[in-house]
Amino acid sequence: MMKLDARSVEADMQYPSVVIEWDNALLSGNNRAFKGLSILNQQLWDAQGHLSGEADVVVTFDPSQADEALIRREIERIGGKRGWPGHLTVATVPPGTRYYGHKNIGFRFTRNDIVIFLDSDLLPESGWLEEMIRPFADYRHSVVVGNTYMDFDRFYARCVGLFWIFETRSTERELSVTDWLVSNNIAFRRKVFERLPFPERVTFRGQCSELGRLLAANGILLYRNPMAQAAHPPPNGIRHFVERASYSGHDECSYRRLCAPVGVANAWARFRFDLGVVNQRVTRRAPVIGAKAGTRLAARVLGAVFYLIKLIAYALTVFAPTAVRRIFGAATS
């Protein structure tokens, strides 16, 4: 592992471009997205004198889904009298564009050598911006992943945080190599992402893992900076909870179908594996957040429900590949 010098950013470090998709905001709510933008605006201004060049922010939105006038009005309000440093681009994407499409299209509007993808439902911690780009002072670092952790501000969030994919807030300070690419809090050197953007698939999620494998196949290491932290919310209500679980089952079946036969037996085997993972995560994370017995039990039950929905969606996708996409209005074929 390599230690980060948290005292200063190298003098020749430049402002990055930051791409924010207005896709997750449709689920987590505009208010959280505007709060995240406000945090970003402050950090961009705070970096003046530490970073050279010009800041660059790109916000992408689907005009058929999001309120353009509201987004532009709130971005202007957040900027206040001093506005936004450097360049700010609010770009439309074709109607129906999904999450990874937002990112690939947003990249086309960026200007700087380092490009950060920050999701609209994340709330970056103090110092996040500079910690995301600090590792790039070393020319050997081409992809840096921040630490995305779950909110634990209410009972439901604590239960989801105990079993879901994101870990707890990190207390580590050292940069390390990782094999886990998360697309919501990640930075690339421009030439790397130009060559290897997020793959185009019919899946809702999963392209991040595929891109991680492509980078590895090309000898490009991923580095995790645990000091670049941002908080992620739980699924926003029952519908979003069911959607995320269903997407997970659809995507896993779809990716498996690319390289091997699929069947209901696969879904059942994965469900049993997922339940084991839920138990491991709850056991490991509960002491970290001080979760008591009732919260741990509720987390295990909620996790079982989540992965049961995933099982059903996987099985449905075995027999009808586009069914889940049609149910949630995202069918492309």
CATH superfamily of 11-232: Spore Coat Polysaccharide Biosynthesis Protein SpsA; Chain A (3.90.550.10)
Mean pLDDT across the chain, nearest whole number? 93
Residue 290 class from Cβ within 10 Å (0-12 exposed, 13-18 middle, 19+ buried)?
exposed
Q: What is the DSSP string of 209-232?
A: HHHHHHHHHTTPPEEEEEEEEEEE
Q: How far apart are CA 72 and CA 67, in angstroms?
A: 9
Q: Which residues contact 79 (CB under 8 A, 6 or more apart)?
A: 41, 88
Q: What is the mean pLDDT of residues 213-229?
A: 97
pLDDT band at 11 (very low <50, low <70, confident <90, very high): very low
Helices marked H in the chain — which ranges?
25-28, 30-46, 68-79, 99-108, 128-133, 155-163, 190-195, 207-217, 237-257, 264-289, 293-319, 323-327
pLDDT in tens, 265-320: 999 999 999 999 999 999 999 999 999 999 999 999 999 999 999 999 999 999 99
DSSP letters, 145-159, are EEEEEE--SSHHHHH
Residue 225 has pLDDT above 90, yes or no: yes
Confidence (pLDDT) at 330: 59
- How far apart (Å, rounded) are the C-alpha atoms in residues 216 and 211? 9
Contacts of residue 80, defined as CB under 8 A and 6 or more positions apart, other chains included, come to none
In this prediction, residue 1 has a pLDDT band, given cuts at 50, 70 and 90, of: low
Q: So where are the chain's domains?
A: 11-232, 237-327
pLDDT in tens, 191-209: 999 999 999 988 888 899 9
Kindly indicate the confidence band of residue 4, based on its pLDDT and cuts at 50, 70 and 90: low
| pLDDT digits 0-9 by tens, 83-97 | 999 999 999 999 999
